[in-house]
Structure 1
Amino acid sequence: MMKPSVRKELLSQVEELINHYCNGCFLHEHLKKSGGRRAAHRFCITHCTVGEQLQNYGEKLKKEH
């Protein structure tokens, strides 16, 4: 089981990534307007490097929980 301090640090890193790169992302907003919310989300999880990093953090959190 993951130590609470390690889990807290991972969640902090996730929040930092989202706040720095995802909030206000021009590309996400453009894709959402042109292709819809699903298309924008699909881009983020399949093509965006930040989305890839977020998925890696999610896997670490899931494994250790």
Structure 2
Amino acid sequence: MNRRKVLSEVAELMTTYCEGCFLHKHLKNENGRRNAHRFCITQCTIGERIKKYGEKL
């Protein structure tokens, strides 16, 4: 995959699944922004996919 394709895939995933995510919003209110972000990177399936795309860059 070229860089442009990877970036478009990441943007598509984020607009489809991450914008307005109720779980992220709830975790942010309960535990703070840092813990919500950590959850998204380590436990959310979409966050794991985005992380794999980031490794390709």
Provide the TM-score with structure 2 as the length reference: 0.96
Identity %: 63
Structure 1: 4+ residue segments shifted above 4 A:
none
Q: Which runs of 5+ in 2 are unaligned?
A: none
Query: Root-mean-square deviation (CA), in Å?
Result: 1.1
The alignment's TM-score, normalised by the length of structure 1, stands at 0.84
Tell me: higher relative CO, structure 1 or 2? Use CA pairs within 8 A at least 6 residues apart.
1
Aligned residues between the structures: 57
1:28-50 Cα deviation digits (max 9, x unpaired): 00000000000100100110000
